[in-house]
Chains A and B, each alone.
Chain A
Amino acid sequence: MDKRERLIQKLRNIAVQTPTAILEVPEKVEGFGSIKYRPEPCSVCKKCIEACEVEALDIDFTVQLPAYLDATIPEGGFRSKNRETLISLLQTLKGEGDVQAISVPTGLAGYGSVVWFTEKCIACNKCVEACPEDCLDLEKQYDLPTIIGDVVTPPSISITEWEPFIICFVCWECSHAAADLAGLMHLHYPANIRTVRVPCSGAVEPIQIMTAMENGVDGVLVTGCLLSECHYGGDDPLAGNFMQQDFVHFWQSVFEEIGLGGRLHIDFASAAMGIRFTEIVTEFVERIKKIGPSPLRGKLEVES
């Protein structure tokens, strides 16, 4: 299984409700998106398929007549002139009734269309660049419903004595120092968190977050240096913490859709902000206490 497949597998594992919304992908989040394909100018040259390294595209021996008939031919026409003529002739001849895609007879070269598999795509844009006919666009949308599919809600179990269990990723620059300072200052914060040191908040991978959730933690907290003070990029918009902020926002929207809303949070503290660190932790623990235990605890219980 490659990385993407593992991630999606984990997402399916932790989903407790069927997602319904197509998500917007924040600007800095790469690797997630949707390919929009226009069949009408496509010459079926397979350049996109050859360019895709993860086999997220394939040839389909059907002709998308509905798209052909709906197409508006741009002023300069399509690059595929024969396709353009075919489409305009079909539009001229169009009679009554609904139109459906038809299959191409075996042995007839030059016709067909391209299919895209959302769960395989890593939104690398290579196909878009390879296409000579400008049929493809990479859009900042993520088709979560298709990827996750139908979810069976796990049984809820009653937990009487419960204290939240939270994983907190701290970068080993500022936020770890802040946590240390909080200790030195004998500041008090709840004992519900376990810290995991990472080089930079930007280095936390989604798969790690999902693994934590999969194992029944009630919430995941990511902390980093103050924005614009990342040790790996400073005020560059692509610095680790800026990036991670967008990523966490993306995963928060995913969590919202799959029934884990509110269980993921990102915040920032400098090495001098021991008090702020204590506040961040306390607020998150309070929030999780309100939401209650992870619904996945029930699932884990049933499985074990």
Chain B
Amino acid sequence: MKKLFLCTCNGTLNKLLDFTKIGKEVKALYDVVEVVDNLCLEEGLTKLEKGLSEDDRLAIGACSSQIIGVPMKQRIKNDLVTFVPLREQVGWVHVEEKESATNKAIVLLSDASVQLDHMESPTEFTESVVDRVLVMGGGIAGLKAASDLHRLGVEVTLLEPSGQNNERYLQTSVFMSDTDTLINELQAIQKTLKKVERFEGTFGEVTGQTGSYDVTLNGVNGNEKIREYGAIIVASGNQQYLPRSAKKMRHGKSERVVTLDSLMSRLKKKRAKESSTILVAVDFDAPMFSVEGSHLLRSTRNLATRGYTIIVVHSDIRTEDENLYREARDSGVIFIRGKVTRIRENEKGLTCRIENTLESMEREVIADLVAIPQMVGPVNETALLADKLGVDCDNNGFIRTRYSKMKPVQTSRRGIFVAGGAKMPMSLSDAMASAQNAVLEAFKVVRSPLTRSGWIPVIDDEQCDVCKACLEACPNDALRLMDDRIVHVPAHCEFCGICVSACPTRAIEFQSHRKESWFARFEAVATTHRRLEGKKPFSFVFACSECANASIDQAGFAGKQYGTGSYVIQFPCAGMVSPIEILKGLVVGAEHVIVAHCPPGGCHHQTGDHLSELVVSFTRDMLREIGQDPERVQATYMIAAMPEKMQKEVPVRG
């Protein structure tokens, strides 16, 4: 049966909307319509639970699904549920127009009823999983990841570059912390790795998907083997290199010009003889990672406390620990904001000309030594490695993660994670934390039987022309060509529906969101709107279920009012919208169709923001050509932090 539960939100929503009218208007659409006072509280939830049987289709007219969805999930198991946020997207944003707001609620509930008619049971699928993880090491985070996995009882292979040893680990991690801590940490981890399989060499081909990747391992002595892994952690670490300005600083020409790290190891714990002056010339133009800054401050403080006169010439110094800066100053390090423009060598030492950018004046300093802090970057092989793994790199050549805040270790390919410096230079503690994080994610992959369920794209081979448009469009490698057929790999799928929007033949359709379902819904909205509101114009907002929908909910919380004739239709991802849905929206009578997506680069499915812009611009081109006003169709981004977006984008009239 099809049931509708309306919530008065503790007797408030029924003051903003005419519940009697709503009840009367939607009675014919649902088998049961029930009004509850507090659906989110025990009393309401019990009522819901009692009033439902397992195979009922259910519409909830209450607050945002983000709120009511959570307690509901724990209480009821029904698959076929839709939420109509009557509070955030109707009552709260149309407070001054009770009648129109009520009509809008009726329109949305009619849409929900049609949506329920087209809803299909989610598909369940199970994938086989290999309980073994490959750590592509090289950085200290790799050691940590291997060690943690081993401790969790997961079989692990630690792949290390040829010739890797403790000294090399130390050398490439020197910027991450003070040396003693580093040495202790390294020794402690190495001890735990006694029983871990270590493999010296590189890797070749990587095929398969999350849960079972086949990796070709190439050993240093020419042996090659193919192993299966459920997940892969990339922890190739960092490499240090000289900044561009080093040559100008006479590095390599003068014996008195050295890197800061080599100076540190040369001076070991020696105290300064007399007063020797060391000028530290930081590259003026290269941006600094905060670990680099911390390392610079630690090193210079160390030297200053041993009696050397230290002058640091720098642009911006970034550090994650303000204390380091204070301590360096207190130990006598002199900081000059500026740029070393010339160095001359004579018998007295090095005459360095410094251009002070703050006071815009020049001065000369005579130093015994010039030290150049090295910069930290990804190891040389990172680009090649990323290519072989099929994951993306960022502009600096580090492995790119999906969205650094929400999924800080997830690369662009499922089941492949990144830990430590391969993502960006990190302090020792951050690298350790990121290794733990990656281990956790890898553990989740190899230990959970990959049973998931959801609405998936289904392919009709009979209908398919194997044009590969879907395959090109899928951002997750979840569609593949096998024996001249398109095969869906659910383990990789994020259910974004981007593939569906690319298909010219309709051989691929998304469960519950088939084209005919969208069409029926748009028509239901249009006819109900016309019945209640007559000729008043209306618009569709095709909103992605992530940022855009959150922004529209936020508009409710912030009381940012907008026109009532605006009907939000949720798409899993804005990338699922094709010109067909947009044009259909216009054909059923909408004055405007607005496609709202996540901010540029912020799409939860990687490409939806960009693709929806392309689709909209293409649709606008078509409209212009056939003599229609292209301004009727717009694409825009919306984010929760900008609740006023909806107000701005929705034309006032409808």
Contacts and interface: CB of A to CB of B under 8 A. Distances in A.
A69 B627 CA distance: 12
B627 A94 contact: yes
B617 A105 contact: yes
A229 to B, nearest CB: 49
A81 B626 contact: no
A97 interface: yes
Interface string A74-99: 00000111110110011011111101
Given A108-B614, A110-B473, 5 more contacts: A79-B465, A80-B504, A100-B625, A107-B614, A110-B467
Contacts of A97: 626-627
A77 B178 CA distance: 73
A102 interface: yes
B622 interface: yes
Interface in B623-637: 623, 625-628
A93 B583 contact: yes
Interface string A131-163: 011000000000000000000000000000000
Given A86-B583, A90-B626, A107 B504 contact: no
Contacts of B198: none
Interface stretch (A39-47, A118-126, A236-244, A284-292): A39-47
Contacts of B587: 89, 92-93
B152 interface: no
A109 interface: yes
B465 A93 contact: no
Nearest to B501: A110
A3 to B, nearest CB: 32
A109 B583 contact: no
Contact of A65 (B502, B580, B625, B628): B625
Interface string B610-650: 11001101100111011110000000000000000000000
Measured as residues with beta carbon below 8 angstroms from the partner, the interface class of chain B is: 35 or more
Contact of A43 (B465, B578, B627): B465
B622 A105 contact: no
Given A86-B580, A86-B583, A44 B504 contact: yes
Nearest to B465: A45
A81 B505 contact: yes
A271 interface: no
B466 interface: yes
B472 interface: yes
Interface in B575-629: 578-580, 583-584, 586-587, 610-611, 614-615, 617-618, 621-623, 625-628
17 contacts: A43-B465, A43-B467, A44-B467, A45-B465, A45-B466, A45-B467, A47-B465, A80-B506, A82-B580, A83-B504, A93-B587, A108-B502, A108-B615, A109-B469, A109-B470, A110-B502, A110-B504
A92 B584 CA distance: 10
A89 B627 contact: no
B626 A107 contact: no
B5 to A, nearest CB: 35
Contacts of A110: 467, 469, 473, 502-504
A85 to B, nearest CB: 5
A111 B578 contact: no
B626 A85 contact: no
A69 B469 contact: no
Given A86-B580, A93-B626, A111 B611 contact: no
B626 A65 contact: yes
A90 B583 contact: yes
Given A89-B587, A108-B611, A109-B473, A81 B506 contact: yes
Given A44-B504, A102-B621, A105-B617, A93 B467 contact: no
A51 interface: no
A56 interface: no
A111 B472 CA distance: 12
Contact of B628 (A44, A63, A95, A100): A95
Contact of B626 (A47, A99, A105): A99
Nearest to B585: A89
A104 interface: yes
B515 interface: yes
B463 interface: yes
B465 A132 contact: yes
B586 A102 contact: no
Interface string B498-516: 0000111110000000010
A62 B504 CA distance: 15
B618 A108 contact: yes
Contacts of A92: 587
Contact of A111 (B466, B504, B617): B504
A51 B324 CA distance: 69
Among A43, A90, A109, A111, the most chain B Cβ lie within 10 Å of the Cβ of A109
A93 B614 contact: no
Nearest to B629: A95
Contacts of B625: 65, 99-100, 102
Most chain A C-beta atoms within 10 Å of own C-beta, residue among B505, B515, B583, B615:
B505
Contacts of B626: 65, 69, 90, 93-95, 97, 99
A82 B583 contact: no
Contacts of A102: 618, 621-622, 625
Contact of A82 (B503, B611, B617, B618): B503
B580 to A, nearest CB: 5
B586 to A, nearest CB: 6
Nearest to A65: B625
Contacts of B614: 105, 107-108
Contacts of A79: 463, 465, 505
A249 B248 CA distance: 82
Contacts of A46: 467
B393 to A, nearest CB: 19
Contacts of B583: 86, 89-90, 93
Contacts of A94: 626-627
A81 B468 CA distance: 16
A44 B469 contact: yes
A86 B623 CA distance: 12
Nearest to A82: B506
Contacts of B586: 93
A73 to B, nearest CB: 14
A110 to B, nearest CB: 4
A79 B467 CA distance: 13
Q: Which 10 A-B pairs have the closest CB atoms?
A: A95-B627, A45-B467, A81-B506, A110-B469, A45-B465, A89-B583, A109-B469, A43-B504, A110-B502, A97-B627
Contacts of A107: 610-611, 614
Nearest to A89: B583
A151 B18 CA distance: 81
Contacts of B466: 45, 47
A133 B507 CA distance: 13
Given A89-B580, A93-B628, A82 B505 contact: yes
A133 B587 CA distance: 27
Contact of B465 (A86, A100, A133): A133
Contacts of A81: 463, 505-506, 515
A104 to B, nearest CB: 7
Nearest to A102: B621
A41 to B, nearest CB: 10
Query: Which among A63, A82, A89 has the greatest number of chain B C-beta atoms within 10 A?
Result: A82
Interface string B323-353: 0000000000000000000000000000000
A109 B614 CA distance: 10
Contacts of A85: 506, 515, 580, 584
A105 B612 CA distance: 12
A296 B417 CA distance: 75
Contacts of A96: 627
